[in-house]
Amino acid sequence: MASDKNTPINTISKIKAIRKQETSVEEMVDGIFSGNKAMLAKAITLLESTNPAHYEKANGVIEKCLAKPNTSIRLGITGVPGVGKSSFIETLGSTLTALGKKVAVLAVDPTSSLSKGSILGDKTRMQELSKDPNAFIRPSPSGTSLGGVAQKTRESIILCEAAGYDVILVETVGVGQSEIAVHSMVDFFLLLKLSGAGDELQGIKRGIMEMADAIAINKADGSNLEKAKLAVTEFSRALHLYPPKANGWIPKVLKCSATENTGIHEIWEVVETFVQQNKKNGFFEENRKNQNKNWFMQTVDDKIKQFFHQKASFKSEQEKLLKAIEDNKMSPFYAAKVLLDKITKEL
Ligand code: GDP
């Protein structure tokens, strides 16, 4: 630009900063409601920002978006790296957009800030789906704590729903606690597995089996097909050992091939059956309400802990009291009272 030549650099960067900030809450909400992908992405960037002012503004957007009714389905997908999550999402996503649905893909990957994005960050993943006008793909937010990363994804779901996305796919890596976080933000939780040499049930975390509404044995193609059939039988048998779920749902075990596009439709049918059944018996709404309440409680817990750890004086008081307990000079309950009194005084 010619005028840039005579404009001091710091003025240009100020103008650029203002341009970046320009969009008002109302403009963002209008953009999101009309399905504008760029505006949706911008609002997500805002809520992912560590700047408290940005977060305030994002909250204004989220509140408006929460008020918009939707009939979305939130589907969590987990599995170890290499199981075929992105291939599966690519195939399922394209199947759904071909059915006329709008699909958003989000991710919770607490390792992404360290590894610069191990899931969804890689541009070679989901190439077809990313070109689909009815799909919206967003890599995992970065962050130092799983709680923080999960919260951003949770809020992004609300924005995507307000933007008219019918199906929200939330991907997570099958390591650490991230499945628990994703399980607590979705309606249906799908575990992707590979068939092995008869040792399918070894090395699988018990908690994940309990959380799964369905297990899909992926890569059920070529010479793997027979082993996959065997794995289906073994997992079905194992699932019978778990107590029935409160909503009456019996988890299903299926096989599929993400690359050959077999079994994908069947998995979607299971999800739809689950949703219909749970809407009928009231568990769908109840589950979402409970999830919201849990998120609230957890966020309050996190914030209190954060407040505590930010104050050096609390830490030193805690150390002193721990020492007094160790030396049998104070009862743990009285020590807790002393510390809490100090905290409440400073609140
Ligand atoms: P992710 O790490 O779980 O996201 O796994 P990817 O989707 O990146 O897949 C890992 C590898 O497995 C890639 O080379 C895929 O082409 C391959 N793969 C994924 N799904 C299938 C499948 O259904 N059948 C076969 N044969 N290979 C698959």
- Lookup result for tokens 């649905």: 101
What pLDDT was estimated at residue 307? 82
Ligand 1 centroid, distance to 270 Cα (angstroms): 22
> The CATH number of the domain where 307 resides is what?
1.10.287
Q: Candidates 83, 87, 171: which one to mutate for ligand 1, based on the most atoms within 8 Å of Cβ?
A: 87
- 151 CB neighbour count, 10 Å cutoff: 22
| Close Cβ partners of 39 (under 8 Å, ≥ 6 residues apart) | 23, 27, 28, 31, 32
Task: Please state the pTM of the whole predicted model.
Answer: 0.85
Taking the C-alpha atoms of residue 134 and residue 209, their distance in angstroms, rounded to an integer, is: 32
Taking the C-alpha atoms of residue 148 and residue 154, their distance in angstroms, rounded to an integer, is: 10
What residues does ligand 1 touch, defined as CB less than 6 Å away? 79, 81-87, 218-219, 221, 257-259
Q: Are 260 and 130 found together in one domain?
A: yes
- 237 CB neighbour count, 10 Å cutoff: 11
Per residue of the chain (347 residues), what is the pLDDT tens digit?
Answer: 444 555 666 766 665 665 555 789 999 999 999 999 999 999 999 988 888 888 889 999 999 999 888 899 999 999 888 899 999 999 999 999 999 999 999 988 877 554 444 555 555 678 889 899 999 999 888 776 787 888 899 999 999 999 999 999 999 986 668 888 899 999 999 999 998 734 455 556 667 778 899 999 999 999 999 999 999 998 898 888 888 888 999 999 999 999 999 999 999 999 999 999 999 999 999 999 999 999 899 888 878 887 888 788 888 999 999 999 999 999 999 999 999 999 888 77
290 within domain boundaries: no
* Residue 52: domain span: 9-63
> The CATH number of the domain where 22 resides is what?
1.20.5
108 within domain boundaries: yes
Q: Are 182 and 299 found together in one domain?
A: no
Amino acid identity for residue 72 in this structure: S
Q: Which atom of ligand 1 is the closest one to the Cα of 224?
A: 26
What pLDDT was estimated at residue 239? 84
Q: Are 202 and 226 found together in one domain?
A: yes
3-state secondary structure of 250: coil
For ligand 1, atom 17, the nearest C-alpha belongs to 84
